[in-house]
Structure 1
Amino acid sequence: MPDGRVLRGEATRRAVLAHAVGVASVEGLDGLSLGRIATDLKLSKSGVFALFGSKEDLQLATVGAASAVFTEHVVDPSLAAPPGLPRVRALCENWLSYSERRIFPGGCFFFHTAAEYDARTGRVHDAVVEVSGRFAGLIEETLREAEKLGHLASGSGVAQLSFELHALGLAANADSVLHGGSRPYRLAAEAMRRRLAEAAA
């Protein structure tokens, strides 16, 4: 039978990270500290320290937890769509939906943390860059797959199209988080549909 202490430790770790991703999506990764999380969740600081060791370790674990949530809500459902343009459309729709539904209270976790760490160096910066870049790369990879399948017109400019789709998603998130409302998502969705229709074979 599993050790009860191990199970309790795993449950506490999950609870800490679930809270930490919400805090970081609003206040940034710098808003995290072992003491603050312990106070919020009414845990001992030594217990939280035993799980993470340092603020940086907590920040890195939070980035990993946020990546898993993003994959669950955006990437996995999109990859279940047929390859080519249907999968590209699914990526766009699921990404906008994830932000609009406030899976993280501050909107897209990686939009916020990328802005926070874009000019910095270090392990946390590298982790945010890696996850953010992986999704941008997935958009371009999916478009190239669509091109190979003949879903895109010759000379449609995959790199440019990928950049524009990614920029539209980021803009919708930023505008909605700042001003509220769902209008930015509707505008972004329409712009994405129009660009894909223009590029379609």
Structure 2
Amino acid sequence: MTVTDGRRARGDVSRQAVMAIAVDLATVSGLDGLSIGGLASAVSMSKGGIAGLFGSKEELQLAAVTSAAEIFQRVVIVPALTAPAGLPRLHALIEAWLDYSENRVFSGGCFFAAATAEYRSRPGAVRDAVAANLRRWHEFLAGAITRAVTTGDLAEGTDPTQLAFEISAMLDAANDQSLLFDSAKPYARARTAVDALLARQLTARAARPT
């Protein structure tokens, strides 16, 4: 028989509820603006209560990065995996990312785009955590492209790392410009640009001698 520690269970629930607010705040005010005191005010808790859940400010920031990665996995990666491997899955990944940003899963758009702009030139544990998660996303996207080449959906000579870089650049541009100009038009432009980019790979496949 397993005995559950009620205090620990309540603490886990509190931590999750507070973290949901913390991650959203970080996309607007920045991870550096995420403080024990500020978060305590936002969730109507004492500073001691927040400190008890997360410890230091850096631990709070790192917890926010982890939580954001889990949300990204749930709303972008998992749904796309239901699509058949190859070009359908690649399209599903791209569309899921655009929906994630456009539908404002986080008030400030993509969490990792905001964190990158804030920490790209600031060494430390937070930057390392952001970079590690972005690297995993880029590698996953490149893997989906590799699979599309393997299935014959994209041209044999396609460079998955390069194509993933170009697609990511378009997605990030759509996120940033949508926020800056308060417009959904950048998402439409990103979809058009990505479609054209993939169409060139399809054309290359069709032109390949048999």
Same fold (TM over 0.5): yes
Which residue identity does 2:92 align to in structure 1?
A
What displacement does 1:28 show? 0.8
RMSD: 1.1
Instruction: Detail structure 1 runs of 4+ shifted over 6 Å in the superposition.
Output: none
Mean alpha-carbon deviation: is it higher for 61-70 or for 145-154? 145-154
Question: Residue in 2 aligned with 1:25?
Answer: 27
What displacement does 1:148 show? 1.4
SS class of match (1:151)? coil
Question: Residue in 2 aligned with 1:187?
Answer: 189
> 2:12 pairs with 4, 10, 13, which one?
10
What displacement does 1:177 show? 0.6
> 2:41 pairs with 39, 42, 53, which one?
39
Question: Residue in 1 aligned with 2:155?
Answer: 153
> 1:93 pairs with 92, 95, 110, which one?
95
Alpha-carbon displacement from aligned partner over 1:168-190 (angstroms, at most 9, x marks no partner): 00000000010012100001011
TM-score (norm 2): 0.92
> 1:111 pairs with 110, 113, 138, which one?
113
Mean alpha-carbon deviation: is it higher for 49-58 or for 150-159? 150-159
What displacement does 1:157 show? 3.0
SS class of match (2:32)? helix
What displacement does 1:150 show? 1.3
Matched, 1:50 2:52: yes
> 1:175 pairs with 157, 167, 177, which one?
177
Question: Residue in 2 aligned with 1:69?
Answer: 71
Task: Report the structure number with the largest CA radius of gyration.
Answer: 2
What displacement does 1:4 show? 2.7
Which residue identity does 2:167 align to in structure 1?
L
> In the aligned structure 1, how far is the partner of 2:10 from the partner of 2:39?
17
- What percent identity do the matched residue pairs reach? 46
Question: Residue in 1 aligned with 2:143?
Answer: 141
Q: Which runs of 5+ in 2 are unaligned?
A: 206-210
Matched length = 201
TM-score (norm 1): 0.96
Which residue identity does 2:196 align to in structure 1?
R
